[in-house]
Amino acid sequence: MPDAAATVVTQHTYPNGLVLVAETMPGVQSAAFTLLLPAGSAYEPEGTGGAASMLSEWITRGAGDRDSREVLSALDNLGVSHGESAQNLHTSIAAATLGRNLIPALEIFADVVLRPHLDDEEVEPIRALALQTLRSLEDDPGTKVIYELRKRHFPDPWGRPSPGTPETVAAVAPETLRTFHRERYRPNGAILGVAGAIDWPRLRDAVGHLFGGWRPGAEPSVVERATGPARDHILRETQQIQIALAYPAATVASPEYYRARAAAAILGGYSSARLFTEVREKRGLCYSVYASYESHRNRAAILCYAGTSADRAQQTLDVTVAEIARLTRDGIEAEELETMRAGLKSALIMQQESSMSRSGALASDWFYLGRVRSLAEISAALDALTPASVSEYAASQGTREMTILTLGPNALVMPV
Protein backbone atom coordinates (compact mmCIF):
# COMPACT_ATOMS: atom_id res chain seq x y z
CA MET A 1 0.00 0.00 0.00
CA PRO A 2 1.30 3.50 -0.73
CA ASP A 3 2.73 5.30 2.27
CA ALA A 4 -0.21 7.39 3.50
CA ALA A 5 2.19 9.94 5.00
CA ALA A 6 3.86 10.44 1.61
CA THR A 7 0.69 11.11 -0.34
CA VAL A 8 -0.23 14.75 -0.88
CA VAL A 9 -3.78 15.97 -1.50
CA THR A 10 -4.11 19.39 -3.11
CA GLN A 11 -7.20 21.32 -4.15
CA HIS A 12 -7.88 24.28 -6.41
CA THR A 13 -11.13 26.02 -7.39
CA TYR A 14 -11.09 27.89 -10.71
CA PRO A 15 -12.96 31.16 -11.26
CA ASN A 16 -15.73 29.37 -13.19
CA GLY A 17 -16.40 27.07 -10.20
CA LEU A 18 -14.69 23.88 -11.40
CA VAL A 19 -13.02 22.10 -8.48
CA LEU A 20 -9.77 20.19 -9.02
CA VAL A 21 -8.70 17.87 -6.22
CA ALA A 22 -5.61 15.73 -6.72
CA GLU A 23 -3.47 13.26 -4.81
CA THR A 24 0.06 12.19 -5.62
CA MET A 25 0.63 8.47 -5.12
CA PRO A 26 4.34 7.68 -4.77
CA GLY A 27 5.41 4.39 -6.28
CA VAL A 28 2.77 4.20 -9.01
CA GLN A 29 3.32 4.95 -12.69
CA SER A 30 -0.33 5.38 -13.61
CA ALA A 31 -2.57 8.41 -13.28
CA ALA A 32 -6.34 8.54 -13.39
CA PHE A 33 -9.09 11.09 -13.27
CA THR A 34 -12.80 11.11 -12.49
CA LEU A 35 -14.87 14.06 -13.65
CA LEU A 36 -18.26 14.37 -11.98
CA LEU A 37 -20.66 16.59 -13.90
CA PRO A 38 -23.91 17.77 -12.24
CA ALA A 39 -25.88 16.22 -15.08
CA GLY A 40 -27.47 13.00 -13.86
CA SER A 41 -30.92 11.59 -14.48
CA ALA A 42 -32.32 13.62 -11.56
CA TYR A 43 -31.93 16.76 -13.68
CA GLU A 44 -33.63 15.49 -16.84
CA PRO A 45 -36.72 17.42 -17.94
CA GLU A 46 -40.02 15.63 -17.50
CA GLY A 47 -40.57 12.94 -20.10
CA THR A 48 -36.93 12.71 -21.21
CA GLY A 49 -35.80 9.73 -19.11
CA GLY A 50 -32.56 8.27 -20.47
CA ALA A 51 -31.35 11.62 -21.88
CA ALA A 52 -28.35 11.83 -19.54
CA SER A 53 -27.24 8.30 -20.42
CA MET A 54 -27.70 8.83 -24.15
CA LEU A 55 -25.76 12.10 -24.00
CA SER A 56 -22.86 10.44 -22.14
CA GLU A 57 -22.53 8.10 -25.14
CA TRP A 58 -23.02 10.86 -27.73
CA ILE A 59 -20.27 13.21 -26.51
CA THR A 60 -17.48 10.74 -27.41
CA ARG A 61 -18.72 10.34 -31.01
CA GLY A 62 -16.69 13.18 -32.41
CA ALA A 63 -15.29 16.18 -30.54
CA GLY A 64 -13.03 19.12 -31.30
CA ASP A 65 -11.02 18.45 -34.48
CA ARG A 66 -11.59 14.68 -34.33
CA ASP A 67 -14.42 12.55 -35.64
CA SER A 68 -15.73 9.59 -33.67
CA ARG A 69 -13.10 7.15 -34.90
CA GLU A 70 -10.28 9.63 -34.37
CA VAL A 71 -11.34 10.30 -30.75
CA LEU A 72 -11.19 6.59 -29.92
CA SER A 73 -7.94 6.08 -31.84
CA ALA A 74 -6.29 9.00 -30.04
CA LEU A 75 -7.26 7.55 -26.67
CA ASP A 76 -6.07 4.07 -27.69
CA ASN A 77 -2.74 5.50 -28.84
CA LEU A 78 -2.27 6.97 -25.36
CA GLY A 79 -3.21 3.70 -23.69
CA VAL A 80 -6.24 5.25 -22.03
CA SER A 81 -8.88 3.02 -20.48
CA HIS A 82 -12.04 5.04 -20.00
CA GLY A 83 -15.76 4.98 -19.32
CA GLU A 84 -18.60 7.47 -19.52
CA SER A 85 -21.90 6.93 -17.76
CA ALA A 86 -24.81 8.71 -16.16
CA GLN A 87 -26.08 8.00 -12.69
CA ASN A 88 -28.82 9.70 -10.72
CA LEU A 89 -26.82 12.72 -9.55
CA HIS A 90 -23.92 12.92 -11.99
CA THR A 91 -22.61 12.09 -15.39
CA SER A 92 -19.22 10.55 -14.74
CA ILE A 93 -16.19 10.46 -17.04
CA ALA A 94 -13.34 8.32 -15.74
CA ALA A 95 -10.02 7.45 -17.37
CA ALA A 96 -6.66 5.95 -16.48
CA THR A 97 -3.34 5.91 -18.30
CA LEU A 98 0.39 6.26 -17.68
CA GLY A 99 1.27 9.38 -15.74
CA ARG A 100 3.11 10.92 -18.69
CA ASN A 101 -0.05 10.65 -20.82
CA LEU A 102 -2.44 12.22 -18.32
CA ILE A 103 -2.48 15.75 -19.70
CA PRO A 104 -2.76 14.64 -23.37
CA ALA A 105 -5.72 12.52 -22.29
CA LEU A 106 -7.28 15.47 -20.50
CA GLU A 107 -6.88 17.52 -23.69
CA ILE A 108 -9.02 15.00 -25.58
CA PHE A 109 -11.66 14.89 -22.85
CA ALA A 110 -11.80 18.67 -22.69
CA ASP A 111 -12.99 18.51 -26.30
CA VAL A 112 -15.41 15.70 -25.42
CA VAL A 113 -17.01 17.72 -22.62
CA LEU A 114 -16.86 21.23 -24.09
CA ARG A 115 -16.85 20.74 -27.86
CA PRO A 116 -18.68 17.53 -28.78
CA HIS A 117 -19.95 17.38 -32.36
CA LEU A 118 -23.38 15.98 -31.42
CA ASP A 119 -24.13 15.01 -35.00
CA ASP A 120 -27.69 13.91 -35.76
CA GLU A 121 -26.65 10.73 -37.57
CA GLU A 122 -25.20 9.32 -34.34
CA VAL A 123 -28.46 9.56 -32.40
CA GLU A 124 -30.28 6.52 -33.78
CA PRO A 125 -27.42 4.07 -33.06
CA ILE A 126 -27.22 5.50 -29.54
CA ARG A 127 -30.99 5.17 -29.13
CA ALA A 128 -30.77 1.55 -30.29
CA LEU A 129 -28.10 0.85 -27.65
CA ALA A 130 -30.22 2.51 -24.95
CA LEU A 131 -33.27 0.43 -25.91
CA GLN A 132 -31.12 -2.69 -25.90
CA THR A 133 -30.01 -1.84 -22.35
CA LEU A 134 -33.63 -1.52 -21.29
CA ARG A 135 -34.50 -4.86 -22.90
CA SER A 136 -31.60 -6.49 -21.07
CA LEU A 137 -33.02 -5.14 -17.80
CA GLU A 138 -36.17 -7.16 -18.44
CA ASP A 139 -33.93 -10.24 -18.68
CA ASP A 140 -32.21 -9.31 -15.41
CA PRO A 141 -35.02 -9.11 -12.85
CA GLY A 142 -32.57 -8.73 -9.95
CA THR A 143 -31.27 -5.44 -11.33
CA LYS A 144 -34.75 -4.42 -12.45
CA VAL A 145 -36.22 -4.77 -8.95
CA ILE A 146 -33.48 -2.60 -7.42
CA TYR A 147 -34.10 0.15 -10.01
CA GLU A 148 -37.80 0.01 -9.20
CA LEU A 149 -37.13 -0.06 -5.44
CA ARG A 150 -35.19 3.21 -5.66
CA LYS A 151 -38.06 4.82 -7.57
CA ARG A 152 -40.48 3.94 -4.77
CA HIS A 153 -38.22 4.61 -1.79
CA PHE A 154 -36.56 7.93 -2.64
CA PRO A 155 -38.56 11.06 -3.52
CA ASP A 156 -38.57 11.84 -7.22
CA PRO A 157 -36.21 12.75 -8.87
CA TRP A 158 -33.65 11.18 -6.49
CA GLY A 159 -34.76 7.63 -7.24
CA ARG A 160 -35.09 8.16 -10.96
CA PRO A 161 -33.25 5.41 -12.92
CA SER A 162 -30.69 6.59 -15.47
CA PRO A 163 -31.72 4.21 -18.31
CA GLY A 164 -35.16 5.85 -18.57
CA THR A 165 -38.04 3.89 -20.09
CA PRO A 166 -38.61 2.52 -23.61
CA GLU A 167 -41.20 5.24 -24.18
CA THR A 168 -39.00 8.16 -23.12
CA VAL A 169 -35.89 6.86 -24.87
CA ALA A 170 -37.84 6.37 -28.10
CA ALA A 171 -39.19 9.93 -27.89
CA VAL A 172 -36.02 11.90 -27.00
CA ALA A 173 -35.07 14.23 -29.86
CA PRO A 174 -31.50 15.30 -30.74
CA GLU A 175 -32.25 18.93 -29.86
CA THR A 176 -33.44 17.84 -26.39
CA LEU A 177 -30.07 16.20 -25.82
CA ARG A 178 -28.22 19.27 -27.08
CA THR A 179 -30.21 21.46 -24.71
CA PHE A 180 -29.40 19.13 -21.83
CA HIS A 181 -25.71 19.40 -22.70
CA ARG A 182 -25.86 23.18 -22.95
CA GLU A 183 -27.74 23.64 -19.67
CA ARG A 184 -26.43 20.85 -17.44
CA TYR A 185 -22.79 20.39 -18.44
CA ARG A 186 -21.39 23.24 -16.41
CA PRO A 187 -18.19 23.88 -14.42
CA ASN A 188 -19.88 25.20 -11.27
CA GLY A 189 -20.81 22.00 -9.51
CA ALA A 190 -18.30 19.89 -11.49
CA ILE A 191 -15.50 18.09 -9.64
CA LEU A 192 -12.32 16.70 -11.21
CA GLY A 193 -10.51 14.15 -9.05
CA VAL A 194 -7.01 13.12 -10.16
CA ALA A 195 -4.74 10.55 -8.53
CA GLY A 196 -1.45 8.82 -9.24
CA ALA A 197 1.84 9.93 -10.77
CA ILE A 198 1.12 13.63 -11.18
CA ASP A 199 2.99 16.94 -11.22
CA TRP A 200 0.61 19.24 -9.31
CA PRO A 201 1.69 22.67 -10.67
CA ARG A 202 1.66 21.36 -14.24
CA LEU A 203 -1.69 19.64 -13.75
CA ARG A 204 -3.30 22.71 -12.14
CA ASP A 205 -2.14 24.98 -14.96
CA ALA A 206 -3.14 22.50 -17.68
CA VAL A 207 -6.66 22.07 -16.28
CA GLY A 208 -7.00 25.84 -16.02
CA HIS A 209 -5.92 26.20 -19.66
CA LEU A 210 -8.20 23.40 -20.91
CA PHE A 211 -11.32 24.17 -18.88
CA GLY A 212 -10.88 27.81 -17.85
CA GLY A 213 -13.06 29.10 -20.70
CA TRP A 214 -15.97 26.87 -19.72
CA ARG A 215 -18.81 29.20 -18.79
CA PRO A 216 -20.83 28.63 -15.61
CA GLY A 217 -24.48 27.68 -15.88
CA ALA A 218 -27.55 28.19 -13.76
CA GLU A 219 -28.37 25.83 -10.90
CA PRO A 220 -31.32 23.66 -11.95
CA SER A 221 -34.52 23.96 -10.00
CA VAL A 222 -35.63 20.63 -8.60
CA VAL A 223 -39.08 19.93 -7.23
CA GLU A 224 -39.26 16.87 -4.99
CA ARG A 225 -42.33 14.71 -5.29
CA ALA A 226 -43.43 11.90 -3.02
CA THR A 227 -43.26 8.49 -4.60
CA GLY A 228 -44.13 5.05 -3.28
CA PRO A 229 -46.12 3.00 -2.60
CA ALA A 230 -44.15 1.65 0.35
CA ARG A 231 -45.44 -1.87 -0.35
CA ASP A 232 -45.75 -3.00 -3.95
CA HIS A 233 -45.56 -5.96 -6.31
CA ILE A 234 -44.60 -6.01 -9.99
CA LEU A 235 -46.29 -8.83 -11.85
CA ARG A 236 -43.86 -10.72 -14.11
CA GLU A 237 -44.10 -14.30 -15.36
CA THR A 238 -40.61 -15.17 -14.15
CA GLN A 239 -39.20 -18.39 -12.71
CA GLN A 240 -38.17 -16.67 -9.49
CA ILE A 241 -39.51 -13.97 -7.20
CA GLN A 242 -37.25 -10.99 -6.54
CA ILE A 243 -37.45 -9.33 -3.13
CA ALA A 244 -36.05 -5.86 -2.43
CA LEU A 245 -36.23 -3.70 0.70
CA ALA A 246 -34.97 -0.25 1.66
CA TYR A 247 -35.01 1.80 4.84
CA PRO A 248 -33.39 5.11 5.83
CA ALA A 249 -29.78 5.37 6.98
CA ALA A 250 -27.30 8.09 7.96
CA THR A 251 -25.75 10.08 5.10
CA VAL A 252 -22.05 10.25 4.26
CA ALA A 253 -21.77 13.64 6.00
CA SER A 254 -23.50 12.44 9.17
CA PRO A 255 -21.52 11.72 12.36
CA GLU A 256 -23.31 8.34 12.27
CA TYR A 257 -21.97 7.43 8.81
CA TYR A 258 -19.48 4.75 9.84
CA ARG A 259 -22.02 3.19 12.18
CA ALA A 260 -24.48 3.01 9.27
CA ARG A 261 -21.87 1.36 7.05
CA ALA A 262 -21.07 -1.11 9.80
CA ALA A 263 -24.73 -1.98 10.33
CA ALA A 264 -25.26 -2.54 6.59
CA ALA A 265 -22.15 -4.71 6.30
CA ILE A 266 -23.01 -6.85 9.33
CA LEU A 267 -26.52 -7.32 8.00
CA GLY A 268 -25.51 -8.44 4.53
CA GLY A 269 -22.22 -7.06 3.22
CA TYR A 270 -20.03 -10.16 3.16
CA SER A 271 -20.24 -13.95 2.90
CA SER A 272 -20.63 -14.62 6.62
CA ALA A 273 -23.01 -11.71 7.28
CA ARG A 274 -26.38 -12.32 8.90
CA LEU A 275 -28.58 -12.46 5.81
CA PHE A 276 -26.20 -14.80 4.03
CA THR A 277 -25.96 -17.04 7.09
CA GLU A 278 -29.64 -17.10 8.07
CA VAL A 279 -31.32 -17.00 4.66
CA ARG A 280 -28.89 -18.94 2.48
CA GLU A 281 -26.73 -21.15 4.68
CA LYS A 282 -29.06 -22.27 7.44
CA ARG A 283 -32.32 -22.50 5.51
CA GLY A 284 -31.21 -22.81 1.88
CA LEU A 285 -33.90 -20.36 0.81
CA CYS A 286 -31.96 -18.64 -1.96
CA TYR A 287 -28.56 -18.37 -3.57
CA SER A 288 -28.22 -14.60 -3.78
CA VAL A 289 -28.93 -12.33 -0.80
CA TYR A 290 -27.20 -9.15 0.33
CA ALA A 291 -27.50 -5.73 1.95
CA SER A 292 -25.73 -2.57 0.79
CA TYR A 293 -25.44 1.08 1.72
CA GLU A 294 -26.42 3.84 -0.73
CA SER A 295 -26.26 7.59 -0.21
CA HIS A 296 -27.30 10.80 -1.90
CA ARG A 297 -26.20 14.11 -0.41
CA ASN A 298 -29.23 14.62 1.85
CA ARG A 299 -30.59 11.08 2.25
CA ALA A 300 -29.31 7.53 2.38
CA ALA A 301 -30.65 4.03 2.69
CA ILE A 302 -29.76 0.45 3.39
CA LEU A 303 -30.93 -1.74 0.50
CA CYS A 304 -31.54 -5.49 0.79
CA TYR A 305 -32.08 -8.00 -1.99
CA ALA A 306 -32.92 -11.68 -2.33
CA GLY A 307 -33.93 -13.75 -5.33
CA THR A 308 -35.63 -17.11 -4.75
CA SER A 309 -38.16 -19.61 -6.06
CA ALA A 310 -41.88 -18.88 -5.74
CA ASP A 311 -42.44 -21.61 -3.16
CA ARG A 312 -39.73 -20.21 -0.87
CA ALA A 313 -40.30 -16.52 -1.45
CA GLN A 314 -42.65 -15.85 1.47
CA GLN A 315 -40.29 -17.46 3.96
CA THR A 316 -37.35 -15.59 2.42
CA LEU A 317 -39.14 -12.28 2.90
CA ASP A 318 -40.18 -13.16 6.44
CA VAL A 319 -36.68 -14.23 7.49
CA THR A 320 -35.08 -11.17 5.87
CA VAL A 321 -37.43 -8.80 7.71
CA ALA A 322 -36.87 -10.76 10.93
CA GLU A 323 -33.09 -10.36 10.60
CA ILE A 324 -33.45 -6.61 10.15
CA ALA A 325 -35.65 -6.53 13.24
CA ARG A 326 -33.14 -8.62 15.19
CA LEU A 327 -30.35 -6.23 14.27
CA THR A 328 -32.32 -3.22 15.49
CA ARG A 329 -33.58 -5.04 18.60
CA ASP A 330 -30.57 -7.08 19.79
CA GLY A 331 -27.61 -5.19 18.33
CA ILE A 332 -24.34 -6.80 17.24
CA GLU A 333 -21.59 -8.96 18.70
CA ALA A 334 -17.91 -8.08 19.05
CA GLU A 335 -16.87 -10.84 16.65
CA GLU A 336 -19.19 -9.48 13.95
CA LEU A 337 -17.73 -6.01 14.37
CA GLU A 338 -14.17 -7.30 13.94
CA THR A 339 -15.09 -9.19 10.77
CA MET A 340 -16.80 -6.12 9.37
CA ARG A 341 -13.87 -3.87 10.29
CA ALA A 342 -11.36 -6.17 8.60
CA GLY A 343 -13.46 -6.24 5.43
CA LEU A 344 -13.90 -2.48 5.16
CA LYS A 345 -10.22 -1.87 5.86
CA SER A 346 -9.22 -4.37 3.17
CA ALA A 347 -11.46 -2.61 0.68
CA LEU A 348 -9.93 0.72 1.70
CA ILE A 349 -6.38 -0.56 1.20
CA MET A 350 -7.21 -1.96 -2.24
CA GLN A 351 -8.80 1.35 -3.21
CA GLN A 352 -5.71 3.21 -2.05
CA GLU A 353 -3.56 1.08 -4.35
CA SER A 354 -5.57 1.91 -7.49
CA SER A 355 -5.23 5.36 -9.04
CA MET A 356 -8.60 4.94 -10.76
CA SER A 357 -10.41 4.04 -7.54
CA ARG A 358 -8.63 6.80 -5.68
CA SER A 359 -9.57 9.47 -8.23
CA GLY A 360 -13.21 8.46 -7.83
CA ALA A 361 -12.93 8.60 -4.03
CA LEU A 362 -11.41 12.10 -4.19
CA ALA A 363 -14.26 13.43 -6.33
CA SER A 364 -16.89 11.65 -4.23
CA ASP A 365 -15.49 12.92 -0.92
CA TRP A 366 -15.44 16.47 -2.23
CA PHE A 367 -19.04 16.22 -3.40
CA TYR A 368 -20.37 14.81 -0.13
CA LEU A 369 -18.06 16.51 2.37
CA GLY A 370 -16.31 19.42 0.69
CA ARG A 371 -12.99 17.88 1.71
CA VAL A 372 -11.01 14.65 1.29
CA ARG A 373 -10.76 12.05 4.02
CA SER A 374 -7.29 10.64 4.63
CA LEU A 375 -6.61 6.95 5.01
CA ALA A 376 -5.63 7.59 8.62
CA GLU A 377 -8.93 9.37 9.33
CA ILE A 378 -11.05 6.57 7.91
CA SER A 379 -9.01 3.91 9.68
CA ALA A 380 -9.34 5.75 12.99
CA ALA A 381 -13.10 6.10 12.53
CA LEU A 382 -13.42 2.37 11.91
CA ASP A 383 -11.23 1.59 14.92
CA ALA A 384 -13.43 3.79 17.11
CA LEU A 385 -16.53 1.69 16.42
CA THR A 386 -17.69 -0.48 19.31
CA PRO A 387 -20.43 -3.12 19.56
CA ALA A 388 -22.36 -0.72 21.79
CA SER A 389 -22.10 2.25 19.41
CA VAL A 390 -23.16 0.25 16.34
CA SER A 391 -25.96 -1.45 18.31
CA GLU A 392 -27.18 1.94 19.50
CA TYR A 393 -27.26 3.20 15.93
CA ALA A 394 -29.04 0.09 14.65
CA ALA A 395 -31.71 0.51 17.32
CA SER A 396 -32.39 4.05 16.09
CA GLN A 397 -32.91 3.14 12.43
CA GLY A 398 -36.27 4.01 10.93
CA THR A 399 -37.30 0.57 9.77
CA ARG A 400 -40.96 1.57 10.11
CA GLU A 401 -40.31 3.63 6.97
CA MET A 402 -39.24 0.49 5.09
CA THR A 403 -40.10 0.14 1.42
CA ILE A 404 -40.71 -3.42 0.23
CA LEU A 405 -41.00 -4.40 -3.42
CA THR A 406 -41.40 -7.85 -4.95
CA LEU A 407 -41.30 -8.90 -8.58
CA GLY A 408 -42.56 -12.18 -9.96
CA PRO A 409 -45.61 -14.29 -10.80
CA ASN A 410 -47.44 -13.78 -7.52
CA ALA A 411 -47.54 -11.24 -4.69
CA LEU A 412 -46.40 -12.03 -1.16
CA VAL A 413 -47.97 -11.24 2.20
CA MET A 414 -46.26 -8.04 3.33
CA PRO A 415 -45.21 -7.58 6.96
CA VAL A 416 -47.01 -4.94 8.99
Q: Say how far apart CA 25 and CA 354 lie, in whole Å.
A: 9
**What is the pTM assigned to this prediction?**
0.94
**Residues 144-169: tens digit of each pLDDT:** 999 999 999 999 999 999 999 999 99
pLDDT tens digits along 279-332: 999 999 998 999 999 999 999 999 999 999 999 999 999 999 999 999 999 999
What residue ranges in 135-188 does DSSP mark as E strands? none
210 to 3, 95, 203, 281: CA distances (angstroms)? 31, 16, 10, 55
Map residue 269 onto helix, strand or coil.
coil
Q: Do domains 8-211 and 231-408 have the same CATH topology?
A: yes
CA dist 78 → 28, 106, 136, 358 (Å): 17, 11, 33, 21
Least Cα distance to 99 among 24, 207, 36, 205 occurs for 24
Residue 347: per-residue pLDDT: 82
Task: Classify domain 231-408 at the CATH topology level.
Answer: Cytochrome Bc1 Complex; Chain A, domain 1 (3.30.830)
CA distance 31 to 16: 25
At the fourth CATH level, which superfamily is domain 8-211?
Metalloenzyme, LuxS/M16 peptidase-like (3.30.830.10)
Q: What is the pLDDT of residue 6?
A: 59
Flag residues of the chain having pLDDT under 50: 1-5
How is the chain split into domains, by residue range?
A: 8-211, 231-408
